[in-house]
Amino acid sequence: MDADLRASLLTAYDAQLREGTEMLSADSVDRNGPLWRGKFGDRGFVSYRSLAGLEGQALDNLIAQTIAHYAADTHTTSFEWKTRGHDAPADLPQRLIAQGFKAGDAETVMLGEAQLLAQPVPLPEGVTLRRIDNQPDPQPDVVRAARAQELAFGHPSDEDDLMRRIEQGAGRVELWVAETAQEMVCVGRLEVLPNTEFAGLWGGGTLPEWRGRGIYRALTAARAGSALARGVRYLHSDSTEFSRPILERSGLLAVTTTTPYVWRR
């Protein structure tokens, strides 16, 4: 049963969550063969549904053309070519590395019914949840949220990118936080995807000293409840080793993996 459901979810993922859907908040988008090439501030992003029929020199040429495209824009500092574990050709990662890309950490793509996650979760005493993007001026809280993400993930977070996503999302990008009276301890986005059955769970991170206390589950449940209220059926998440077990216990299924390959100027 799980195998059939996984296959069905993976088909929906490929059909609804790639190509143009990944470019909704891009500043600009163009096409080259099967590729969608977007620019998000000073970073680029490559999406596609299939590279079927491309291999060997033809694939190497497409990669080289894509590098040249982003390199020609001196404002672009890096771009990501997002690969999926179930995609062909199998040697795409090696061909990207051969042309100067660096592999990021692999993550697991989790999919499932939003109602599975929208269950009550008790919070530790003194911790509350709040949506912060819908304020008259969300920027001060967005700056605090970015700092909390830096502490959670151990690498810089860009408040300007968060603000751009919120502004360009025009209400479909929600930013949720769990906080005490002193600090934000967990942050996560919900991105509702128009003309699909999905919303995405993104950027979910909890400060190390607050992990293991149900806060990420509670923040995820709040986002799932908001998604259901908007008529969303499915949620998806590119999950780290920390979030995957939590989502699996709630009933989401691992359908594939995703690895970013990044070119930097």
Residues near 53 by beta carbon (within 8 Å), at least 6 away in sequence: none
Domain spans in the chain, listed from the N-terminal domain onward: 18-107, 112-257
Per-residue DSSP letter, 124: P
Q: Is 1 exposed, middle or buried (0-12, 13-18, 19+ CB in 10 A)?
A: exposed
Residues near 185 by beta carbon (within 8 Å), at least 6 away in sequence: 127, 148, 178, 179, 206, 207, 210, 215
pTM of the full structure? 0.89
What is the rounded CA–CA span in Å between residue 99 and residue 258?
A: 19
Q: Is the pLDDT of residue 242 over 80?
A: yes
Average pLDDT for the chain:
95
What is the number of alpha carbons within 13 Å of residue 235 lying toward its C-beta? 28
Q: For residue 80, what pLDDT is reported?
A: 98
User: Percentage of the chain with pLDDT > 90?
Assistant: 86
User: Percentage of the chain with pLDDT > 70?
Assistant: 100
Q: Is the pLDDT of residue 1 over 70?
A: no
Report the range of poorest mean pLDDT among 4-13, 153-162, 210-219. Answer: 153-162
Nearest to 63 by CA among 104, 19, 99: 99
**pLDDT tier at 155 (50, 70, 90 boundaries)?**
confident
When mean pLDDT is compared over 24-28, 178-182, 201-205, 238-242, the highest value belongs to 178-182
Residues near 30 by beta carbon (within 8 Å), at least 6 away in sequence: 36, 37
CATH of domain 112-257: 3.40.630.30
- When pLDDT is averaged across residues 198-202 and rounded to a whole number, the result is 96
